Chains A and B, each alone.
Chain A
Amino acid sequence: MLDLFAIAGANGAAVRTAFEALVAALAADRAGQVEHFARWVEKEALIAINVKLFVIVELLNGRGYQNSYDWAREQAHLSGRGIEEALRERLGEWYERRTTFDRSFRDGELFRYGALNAGGTGVDKLFDPFCVVLTRIFQGALMAVAYLPGDSLKICFGADGIFDDAAIQRRATPHTHRHLMVALERANEISGVDERRWPELVSSGLQYFEVVFVGEVSLDAVGCVRVSKGQFDRLWNLAFGNFGRKLGDAERALVQDFIDLRRAEIEGKIQIEVVG
């Protein structure tokens, strides 16, 4: 069984060597820019997880953030169903890929997946439009964390669907070297992008750096929640509809969650940043 975090730790020196080689090969102005970008990432980027509104309300209610295995264990406990049965039902045709990856690693069923974020609403705006940015304290206290230059399931599975750990062995990066890996991956794009848009080089709907970690995410770990203005307006529009007609079940569920989130913000329990 592989140890993702040990692999990442062992790669640190190679990442630094590659970064130094890159900088040495560049003209002075571009080298300076790449180094500046790396320092900026180190200073600004935090771990973020895109979630649904429902999940944030769960955090506000004192529950922890669940991965698929936590959920399946809870289902098994509540309903008497088997854990694997619940997992298979939830993941459907994607069961093999998800479990093959996770179970190739020690503590794989404890993995939480996030992305580096240096501003903006994260990797997804449709399915999980609320970007939960974790605190620097939480990030600093993590004992098991690894960074990857993209989606682990794409990096480790070829077109044939066969798991190949070679990419992980080569590309997993420790926390201490994450900014160097980001700068290496984006070196060709930095100069063409205005510094105000550097957050998009770190995380956007098109490209991101995955963070795999083991650690309980509770409300204490949440620094702020970012949401796009479009999504924010959408939820207010839904709430406004409540004055004109009786909302359906799912609509009321969403509006109630949104009110709970806003109340928590007013009471200072959570910080919301509306972006764009």
Chain B
Amino acid sequence: MTLKLEASSPAEGIGVVRVGGALRLLRPPYSRHDSPMLTEESLHEAVLKYGYFASEQEFSGWQDLIDFLNRQAVDFRRAMGREIPESIAGEDILSAAPSQVLISFLDRVERELIPHRLFDHAENFLMALLASGIPKRYPELCSRAARLLQRNKDARARAEIGIGGLKVRDARFVSLERHNELEKSALLAQTIRGRGCVFAPCS
């Protein structure tokens, strides 16, 4: 499938992309559910009114296009004398966040990260929060973070016991074997591990 980049905002790695007959806005974090459809009229407006740069570049796949938009952001900002930092300190994010945002982050740890076994993500956030200056400003958030850290630790321990149990059981994938899908599944697992995410970029 050919993807045509019709316009882009190079400073922010955002692109207006033609996929088949449709136009989509492709923007960080480049996920399909955050890629709204656009009208033809809005493409004109992007360039004429909103300072997007016209483009006619074509790409053979989503990853090539996303790599290009990322490179463009690096190059454009470098030319403006603004390097993109190699990493962003958690403390910088936390110190900039108002209390209601911190509360929403804690909510997400409780409702999304721990139930979905994203233990490292939860732990990184909670440890950064507890080590930051936030507890002094918002003591009540600190105690909730500490409780969640313990809950995360317990959930991780339970999950690891479960994985350990699987090792000693006969856990062959009978149905996959029967349908000759075992090798394909192993390849898929490798792909997921490689990109660090179960979701493919928009495709």
B1 within 8 A of A: no
Whether the Cβ atoms of B88 and A248 lie closer than 8 Å is no
Q: CB within 8 A of B73: which of A153, A242, A245, A249?
A: A249
User: Which residues between 109 and 141 of chain B lie within 8 Å of chain A, taking CB atoms?
Assistant: 113, 118, 120-121, 124-125, 128
Q: CB within 8 A of A243: which of B25, B29, B77, B125?
A: B125
In the complex, A251 Cα to B31 Cα: how many Å? Answer: 12
A33 within 8 A of B: no
Whether the Cβ atoms of B49 and A113 lie closer than 8 Å is yes
Q: Mark B60-90, 1 if CB is under 8 A from A, else 0.
A: 0000001001110110010110001111101
Whether the Cβ atoms of A253 and B12 lie closer than 8 Å is yes
Q: How large is the interface on B (under 10, 10 to 19, 20 to 34, 35 or more residues)?
A: 35 or more
Residue of A nearest to B93 (CB): A239
In the complex, A236 Cα to B105 Cα: how many Å? Answer: 9
Whether the Cβ atoms of A92 and B96 lie closer than 8 Å is no
Whether the Cβ atoms of A52 and B11 lie closer than 8 Å is yes
Residue of B nearest to A247 (CB): B88
**Which of A91, A241, A249 has the most B CB atoms < 10 Å from its CB?**
A249
Whether the Cβ atoms of A243 and B12 lie closer than 8 Å is no
Whether the Cβ atoms of A243 and B90 lie closer than 8 Å is yes
Whether the Cβ atoms of B93 and A90 lie closer than 8 Å is no
Whether the Cβ atoms of A127 and B56 lie closer than 8 Å is no
In the complex, A71 Cα to B80 Cα: how many Å? Answer: 11
In the complex, A241 Cα to B11 Cα: how many Å? Answer: 20
Whether the Cβ atoms of A236 and B48 lie closer than 8 Å is no
In the complex, A124 Cα to B56 Cα: how many Å? Answer: 24
Closest Cβ of chain A: how far from B145's Cβ, in Å?
12
Chain B residues near A259 (CB-CB < 8 A): 88, 92-93, 96
Whether the Cβ atoms of A127 and B29 lie closer than 8 Å is no
Closest Cβ of chain B: how far from A31's Cβ, in Å?
35
Closest Cβ of chain A: how far from B35's Cβ, in Å?
11
Number of A-B contacts (CB under 8 A): 141
Q: Mark A244-276, 1 if CB is under 8 A from B, else 0.
A: 111111111111101100110010000000000
Chain A residues near B146 (CB-CB < 8 A): none
Binds B, one of A9-17, A93-101, A169-177, A190-198: A93-101
Quick one: given A254-B12, A259-B96, are A241 and B125 in contact (CB under 8 Å)? no
Closest Cβ of chain B: how far from A172's Cβ, in Å?
18
Whether the Cβ atoms of B121 and A128 lie closer than 8 Å is no
Chain B residues near A250 (CB-CB < 8 A): 12-14, 28, 69-70, 73
Residue of A nearest to B53 (CB): A90
Residue of B nearest to A75 (CB): B79
Whether the Cβ atoms of B13 and A253 lie closer than 8 Å is yes
User: Which residues between 126 and 144 of chain A lie within 8 Å of chain B, taking CB atoms?
Assistant: 126-128
A50 within 8 A of B: yes
Q: Identify the 7 closest CB pairs spanning chains A and B, nearest first.
A: A92-B54, A250-B13, A244-B121, A262-B96, A127-B50, A243-B125, A54-B11
Chain B residues with a Cβ under 8 A of chain A: 7, 9, 11-14, 25, 28-30, 34, 36, 38, 42, 44-56, 66, 69-71, 73-74, 77, 79-80, 84-88, 90, 92-93, 96-97, 101, 104-105, 108, 113, 118, 120-121, 124-125, 128, 196-197
Interchain residue pairs with CB less than 8 A apart (24): A54-B12, A90-B54, A92-B47, A94-B47, A94-B54, A97-B48, A124-B45, A126-B42, A127-B42, A127-B49, A236-B97, A238-B28, A240-B93, A242-B93, A244-B124, A247-B88, A248-B70, A249-B73, A251-B13, A251-B28, A252-B86, A254-B13, A255-B88, A262-B97
Other A-B pairs, 19, CB within 8 Å; known A92-B54, A244-B124, A247-B88: A52-B9, A53-B12, A68-B51, A89-B54, A92-B53, A94-B47, A124-B49, A124-B50, A127-B42, A234-B34, A238-B28, A245-B121, A245-B197, A248-B13, A248-B28, A248-B66, A253-B12, A253-B84, A262-B97
